[in-house]
Structure 1
């Protein structure tokens, strides 16, 4: 990730931008001038069109196997550690998550305050930590009961062994504290592998915490074989509970016996090819154009063959970049199913960190090869005889960064890129590759040595890292907004460097977000991210096709996009910004002149003077009968009275409007209030070719005009 730090927020631009007015520089069809009053004016000339239509891949997203973007996010499976693996996989961030979950459980269960506090205290061994029970799982019941993490497993390393010698309670076994998406689904399927020495009955139930008699669903499974066997149980929730209520899934014995458990999964029945129905619905509704996966830093240690074949037999690995477990339940075929379900083009990032060109070429063959090829045949064996025909492939992730597995020098990467390119295109010459790009210095050897095979370079733009929590929020906000306007100079410089040797060069911004990560400052969960994203999009649109792709970070529970909390999925404000751009019909930018009040982003930040408060872009559709004007008011406090003048375009009276705004640039949604910030539809009547419109502070407004 390229992190633009504060106070060096604009440090990457200093080589190409001097501290001057950038607003008054004409950008081809797009001109910004300082207004002489507090209002703004926008003149639109639809006859003057850009040479190239914009790419719909500007409205794309990025997903990575980190935190809860995939597992506990896009993936619908409910349980944590479904493979009952051991504690070596849970020493990092997941250790803290376990403490948070069971801190909630302890409070609901009426445990002493000391146990609640102990749950998240890393200086003591917490009450929920037991070397004999798999992480995320706890024992319940009393008696002579022995637990063991046994190496006699169905898959990977360990299984949970439970031996009940005698009971003092009705049952004993293991349970996990869970949330369920009961706002939309009451039917669930539990599957697992089990074996036993003698026949026995497993009792399975879903209860409310601390209310064992309040049974929401229950059933039993008879286990009667020494060999591993898969069992499936349907569970129907028959009682109502409040959304976001912590529940318990328990699996236990009511009589003496020994059972081994492994590879347990709990899916809501409305899952879409294994993915969360709400995530699929929101993503499809927003008309996602492209999805980049599986990373991110993750991919530099990822080996794609771990993630294909029967899910129950895939190996468990350590996700080294993010210090967490990787079950490989979501792999190539799952991601391709998701892309199909939401209508998105896949962009696959290959492991150019500790991977090899041969491995990457085999991945291309798995995705695109016929059934008469080795890996095309493997794909068919896995249930997918038709090739996926994946076009876009990114060759590594951030290999210029010292945090990256396999990081290297610019010169060595140029050599690595050629080896990967040649191996992959030998399998499929029709693929389009994206090289790891970043700065002028890093890109120079690529352009010098690989110009004949170079078409596009990636750029990761994460702005605001290192910002002090004591910074003034409005100063940070205005600096972030200024960055989006000045960003054009960095993009032009990178494009000009490539154009000297590369025919028709392109840039793919494959990671993008505000990176302050401070709850009291503008961050990727707030309306600020939507306004920031709008600015980056507008800047990219003005560059006449130089930027071919923007995969904004990220899909679920990572940066800005969708959030899944307590199994409730809701959008961040930036989701609505991307939806607004993606659903509007405009594809061809047209000439626009903007007169706007301006401000200076200076103080302790790199100075950029005369930044327009009003950003604007105008586009016509392919049939030239619809004009879409997007206005973004970056003023943190004031509504902008704006006069819009259409030239050579006679509209019908009705103007359709979509507005995204909030109480401030810090406005955000939450699982208990998921619609605090959302798109609002309205309309107005235009007389002739002019209208006056008040653009709210901190807002994005889409005005759609239809030609008579």
Structure 2
């Protein structure tokens, strides 16, 4: 789609024909255990690999990404934001680690940690209480050193660089589970300078900022806790790396110390959660959060994530690489929902899990304390049921990338097995989403052989379990780096943006018609859809994808489109809450991607009613669609939607152009003519523009100007922009 001279886009407005009220659930979120969503995300934990997993589960390439991120963060802290803007990866594909890795790989030690001690092997991996731990050598005679920093390092122990959120909190709570092999000793905790700040108290490298110690006196496992507070007059920036050191001083006999796990959290954490992330989520008024995946759900076994946190196992993250420490399990997720005012939406494992496991999870959440699983929940600290209403069976079971992927018939058979026992396990009615497939909405092709794309996925669901399906879950994730050979960037951009139009005109109506035509009991309500993951994905950072500003434009258009299906779309959530287009953390900064911001803005439309529009003007054709698209003709170069609430009429316009602009003239209804139109615009200079710690808000809504006309208003819509125009009725 190339820019050129074009006729104006003309819009007429018919407020006598209104859609159903916009459901707040369209502006939900999706929380998966990946890409720093847990460790380094919602968790307030400051340490990487706090459970000392000897095998990180990361590939060398994944480790390199974390090291490059950290290098860019340190350059930014030193005053050079260039590397951060050029190569920052805000959601690296892994699990269980933050976005940067301060300590380099050290043989014999868990990734993320460095050893203290003057002799080789003074700290090394070993079995712990739950999985792995670290053995710290007991030394009663230390090497003689003259350098003050070297003297600190001469005592056997561990260290890791952390960033303390000093803009809001100046003390750290450190907890450790350890035991001496025999005898007793002292465990010292130190915060010290890693880089010089000569204008500050304790400004030289190695200067101790805070310290505390505990006596470790028993051979049994012992939980210890200390508070380390920075001096009032010590300047420590939130982006600055500070060393947290643990030093072991054994008693007589020089016994070794086994450390099972360590935690370091800022003192203002909210029940283990990062308070800044919690506040951003509260402000967004998220109605519903889907959890724990995503691909992660297909390997997740919920019993790993209940009970005392210090007794939960660390597992490999089989879906994404890295680790799953199970610090955030069922209780923590449901508490998160309570804290931010969201309803929970839980996806059960139908890939490598069983229907019995799924039913037990439902009973654990919803059963009374007299039930078997309800009694376990009560023993774990929650006597009253959580009353989780929304459940989903499986995630992308059609994909070869998925744990336990299956074909169309087997997916439907499993759903028919899972859904009834899940309903039986809940004393109250629950809503069950079946795993659908957007690949079923495009023609079968050898190019799609990485998935089951036989056109029979939904046919089998409605054949085998027509009365068990409440909602069919879909993922609208067109890929931005395939199927576009030989196309100009303008045509690729147009094809990705047109995917929204194809969904509205062809794919969603066709699927709803198929579901309505199934053998379902007449008294049951129609099967609805949920779009539980949306947003373009792919390796091309310069094209529309959910992590960048282009993804924000796509998201505005997509969400506006979904509102026109009314109650037939039960909910929608972008990809995702703490990965993809999301809330992110890095270098001591909490920031948000464009998709998160536009979802929050669009959520203000909840409760309004879509207005029927007439739109004529320039269009283009898509002959080479993305993997989840179809050939499409007559795609308007500007997407236009309108909503009414009381006396307020809101127009949302999105340019689908990569270059050029469109003149748009809007005729408002009687009662609004002559009123002043107030406008905001969201202009993307570069589709690939991505938020980072150096640029936490790369695109903002700015006041815009529109021209009044006798019948309404007119404006110019530049390429890569969105407009939000509000007109209030004249009394």
Shorter-chain TM-score: which interval?
0.7 to 0.9
- Whole-angstrom CA distance in 1 between matches of 2:533 and 2:104: 37
How far is the alpha carbon of 1:141 from its aligned partner? 3.8
Task: Find the partner of 2:573 among 546, 551, 556.
Answer: 551
How far residue 261 of structure 1 moved from its aligned partner, in angstroms, is: 1.5
What are the Cα deviations for residues 74-95 of structure 1, in whole angstroms up to 9, with x where unaligned? 2221111111121264556664
> 1:552-567 maps to which residues of 2 (within 5 A)?
552-556=574-578, 558-567=579-588
Aligned residue number for residue 38 of structure 2? 70
1:500 aligns with 2:517: yes
Match of 1:536 among 558, 581, 587: 558
Name the counterpart of 1:119. none
Distance 1:254 1:686, change over 3 A: farther
- Relative to total residues, which structure has the larger strand share, 1 or 2? 1
Structure 1 counterpart of 2:114: 138
Q: How does 1:78-93 map to 2 (within 5 A)?
A: 78-87=46-55, 89-91=57-59
Q: TM-score, normalised by structure 1?
A: 0.86
Q: 2:462 aligns with which of 444, 447, 450?
A: 447
1:620 aligns with 2:596: no
Of 577-586 and 214-223, deviating more is: 214-223
Aligned to 1:12: none
d(CA) in 2 for partners of 1:574, 1:350: 26
Q: Secondary structure at the match of 1:266?
A: strand
Q: For the residues of structure 1 that align with 2:172 and 2:673, how far apart are their CA atoms?
A: 52
Alpha-carbon contact 2:541-2:548 (below 8 Å) kept: no
Distance across 2 between alignment mates of 1:286 and 1:138: 39
Q: Give the 3-state SS of the residue equivalent to 1:534 in structure 2.
A: helix
Question: Which residues of 2 match residues 656-671 of structure 1 at below 5 A?
Answer: 656-671=678-693
Equivalence for 1:464: 479
Q: Which residue of 1 aligns with 2:151?
A: 170
**1:518 Cα offset (Å):** 1.9
Aligned with 2:634 (options 610, 614, 633): 610
Provide, for residues 260-293 of structure 1, a one-character-per-residue CA deviation record: whole Å limited to 9, x for no partner. 2222111122222222222212222122121111
Asked whether the equivalents of residues 525 and 560 of structure 1 are also in contact (C-alpha less than 8 Å), the reply is yes
Q: Does 1:631 align with 2:653?
A: yes
The whole-number CA distance in structure 1 between the counterparts of 2:683 and 2:292 is 32
- C-alpha displacement of 1:127: 10
Cα distance, 1:62–1:542 mapped onto 2, change above 3 Å: same
Structure 2 residue runs of 5 or longer lacking an equivalent are: 79-101, 144-149, 197-204, 441-454
Does residue 61 of structure 1 match 2:29? Answer: yes
Q: Following TM superposition, by how much is the alpha carbon of 1:471 offset from its aligned partner in structure 2, in angstroms? A: 6.6
Corresponding position of 1:437: 436
Equivalent in the alignment of 2:225: 232
* 1:580 maps onto 2:611 in alignment: no
Q: Partners of 2:714 and 2:137 in 1: how far apart? A: 72
- Cα 1:346–1:200 change in 2 (3 A) is same
Deviation at 1:386, TM superposition (A): 2.6
Contact (CA 8 Å) 1:586, 1:619: kept in 2 or not? no
Bigger shift: residues 283-292 or 247-256: 247-256
Match of 1:490 in 2: 507
Partners of 2:6 and 2:480 lie apart in 1 by 35
Q: 1:217 to 1:628 in 2, by over 3 A?
A: farther
Q: Deviations over 1:82-111 (max 9, x none)?
A: 11121264556664456547867999999x
Q: Is the 8 A contact 1:187 1:236 kept in 2?
A: yes
User: 1:521 aligns to what?
Assistant: 543
**TM-aligned CA deviation for residue 533 of structure 1:** 1.3
- With 155-164 and 302-311 compared, the bigger mean Cα shift is at 155-164
Choose 126-135 or 193-202, whichever is displaced more: 126-135
Name which structure has the greater RCO, CA cutoff 8 Å, separation 6+.
Answer: 1
SS of the residue 1:704 aligns to: strand
Bigger mean CA offset, 433-442 vs 370-379? 370-379
- Indicate the larger mover: 352-361 or 675-684: 675-684
Report whether the alignment pairs 1:42 with 2:11.
yes
Partner residue of 1:194? Answer: 178
Show CA shifts across 1:99-129 (max 9, x none).
547867999999xxxxxxxxxxxxxxx9954
Q: Is 1:475 the equivalent of 2:474?
A: no
Alignment of 1:11-410 (within 5 A): 37-50=6-19, 52-87=20-55, 89-91=57-59, 95-96=63-64, 99-100=67-68, 128-143=104-119, 146-151=122-127, 153-168=128-143, 169-171=150-152, 172=155, 173-196=157-180, 197-211=182-196, 212-238=205-231, 239-253=234-248, 258-410=256-408
Displacement of 1:144 in angstroms is: 7.3
Q: Distance in 2 between matches of 1:677 and 1:108?
A: 20
Give the 3 Å change call, closer, same or farther, for CA 660–216 of structure 1 in structure 2.
farther
Partner secondary structure for residue 418 of structure 1: helix
Assess if the C-alpha contact under 8 Å between 1:108 and 1:209 holds in 2.
Answer: no
The answer to whether the 8 Å contact 1:586/1:626 transfers is no
- Counterparts of 1:108 and 1:598 in 2: how far apart (Å)? 44
Corresponding residue number in structure 1 for 2:533: 511
Q: Secondary structure at the match of 2:281?
A: helix
Distance 1:516 1:470 in 2: 18
Post-superposition Cα deviations, 1:409-466, rounded to whole Å, max 9, x if no partner, equal 2111211111111100012250010111111421111111211222211111221254
Between the aligned partners of 1:689 and 1:184, the Cα distance in structure 2 is 52
Query: In structure 2, how many angstroms separate the alpha carbons of the residues matched to 1:102 and 1:632?
Result: 36
Given that residues 93 and 323 in structure 1 are in contact (C-alpha distance below 8 angstroms), is that contact kept between their aligned partners in structure 2?
no
Give the 3 Å change call, closer, same or farther, for CA 167–231 of structure 1 in structure 2.
Answer: same
Partners of 1:689 and 1:106 in 2: how far apart?
Answer: 56
**2:682–2:701 Cα contact (<8 Å) kept:** yes
Inter-CA distance 242–103: structure 2 relative to 1 (3 Å threshold): same
Alpha-carbon distance in 2 for matches of 1:704, 1:236: 50
Q: CA deviation at 1:68?
A: 1.2
CA contact (8 A) 2:176 2:262 kept: yes
| Displacement of 1:336 | 0.8
RMSD, matched Cα: 3.1
Distance 2:312 2:515 in 1: 42
Kindly indicate whether the alpha-carbon contact (under 8 Å) linking 2:642 and 2:652 is maintained by their aligned counterparts in 1.
yes
Q: Deviations over 1:340-396 (max 9, x none)?
A: 222211110001111111111111111111222222222222222232211111101
Change (3 A) 1:576 1:107: closer
TM-score (norm 2): 0.83
Aligned residue for 1:581, secondary structure, equals helix
- CA–CA distance in 1 between the matches of 2:70 and 2:283? 35
Within 2, Cα distance between the matches of 1:378 and 1:533?
Answer: 42
SS of the residue aligned with 1:240?
Answer: coil
